Amino acid sequence: MEPKPSRLAERRRVQEEVAARKRKTSIVAGILGLVLLFAGSIGVLISPLSALVLIVVMGTGIVLLLVAFLLVRGPVAALPGKSRDN
């Protein structure tokens, strides 16, 4: 018979799953934000007449990049490594 997983192990597994889900969402939001940002800027260069719409697209890209960084902030801070208390 296999031993039942402890509550601590179960909590750790759930935390790892949540962190992995946040990382995946962060990657998708970051990629989409970069695509919108660069597509908007290239669009402004090609068609300056529709600059307002494309500036809104670029703003949306910037917002998505910020969301991506905020989502990944917690899991990155929890990674083991050097402390930044220098």
pLDDT in tens, 13-71: 888 888 888 889 999 999 999 999 999 999 988 988 988 999 999 999 999 999 999 98
pLDDT at 48: 86
CA distance 85 to 62: 30
Per-residue pLDDT, averaged over 74-80, amounts to: 59
Quote the CA–CA distance of 66 and 25 in Å, as a whole number: 13
pTM: 0.70
Q: Is the separation of the CB atoms in 11 and 36 below 8 Å?
A: no
What does the pLDDT read at residue 37? Answer: 92
Cβ 84 vs Cβ 77: under 8 Å: no
Distance (Å, rounded) from C-alpha 82 to C-alpha 56? 39
Q: Is the pLDDT of residue 74 over 60?
A: yes
Q: What is the dihedral sign for C-alpha 58, 34, 32, 62?
A: negative
Within 13 Å and on the Cβ side, how many CA atoms surround 52?
0
